[in-house]
Amino acid sequence: VTAQGRATVFLCGPRAGGNSDTAGLAFAAGLERAGLDPLVIRLREHEVEPCRGCGACAAGPGHRCPLEGDEAEGLFTSLAAAPVAAFASPIYFYHLPARFKAFIDRSQRHYERRLARQAAGAPLPPPRQAHALLVAGRREGRQLFTGALLTLRYFLWPFFLKLAEDPCLLRGRDAPGDLAADAQAVAAIVARGEAAGERG
């Protein structure tokens, strides 16, 4: 892992121009204000095959994945090099949408690599910051974001990224323009991005 890559914002929703896009792009605008040049990745534009659980990646030394012909690994390269990363996603059925979850499952080879690296006593790099921006249509639901946040936390572990403790959790935004219509909420996300860029 190097820290020489670009700050990376993943737009993880299937709906182009939706609320999670608005959140992710506002965060990216904040990173720009902090002087960074963020890379914005629209996950829906990338081919990511779901993990088949074949177990090949558990075997060293390369922890190779037989599905490596698609685009997942290139996206992981950007993530591994990002000094700061953000994930903007809608909540689907109390969790993350299918392609994003497929992408997460494909990181299993990186999980295996980190386990092996630790077992070998290799030096570990310092953690970097990751930011969650999650949008839900419902206003209610105590556990609306619980599953998504847990998954993100463990997904990021192999990349030495630590989820910031104050995730941006937006409720009651359902129609595609709901967040964009709330200038105050958008400005708050830009400010979050700017602060993250200054810290990161």
Contacting positions for ligand FMN (CB under 6 A): 13, 15, 18-21, 90-94, 135-138, 144, 173-174, 176
Which residue is at the shortest CB distance from ligand FMN? 18
Kindly tell me which of 85 and 135 has the beta carbon lying closer to ligand FMN: 135
Q: How far is the CB of 142 from ligand FMN (least distance, A)?
A: 12
Kindly tell me which of 59 and 98 has the beta carbon lying closer to ligand FMN: 98
Q: How far is the CB of 47 from ligand FMN (least distance, A)?
A: 20
Q: How far is the CB of 85 from ligand FMN (least distance, A)?
A: 18
Question: What distance in Å separates the CA atoms of residue 66 and residue 32, rounded to the nearest whole number?
Answer: 37
Kindly tell me which of 28 and 136 has the beta carbon lying closer to ligand FMN: 136
Question: What distance in Å separates the CA atoms of residue 14 and residue 196, rounded to the nearest whole number?
Answer: 25
Kindly tell me which of 2 and 93 has the beta carbon lying closer to ligand FMN: 93
Q: How far is the CB of 42 from ligand FMN (least distance, A)?
A: 11
Q: Given the structure tokens 């310092």, which residue do they identify?
A: 126
Which amino acid appears at position 73 of this protein? E
Kindly tell me which of 5 and 176 has the beta carbon lying closer to ligand FMN: 176
Structural contact between residues 7 and 38, judged by C-beta atoms closer than 8 angstroms:
yes
Q: How far is the CB of 193 from ligand FMN (least distance, A)?
A: 17
* Number of other CB atoms surrounding residue 127 within 10 Å: 12
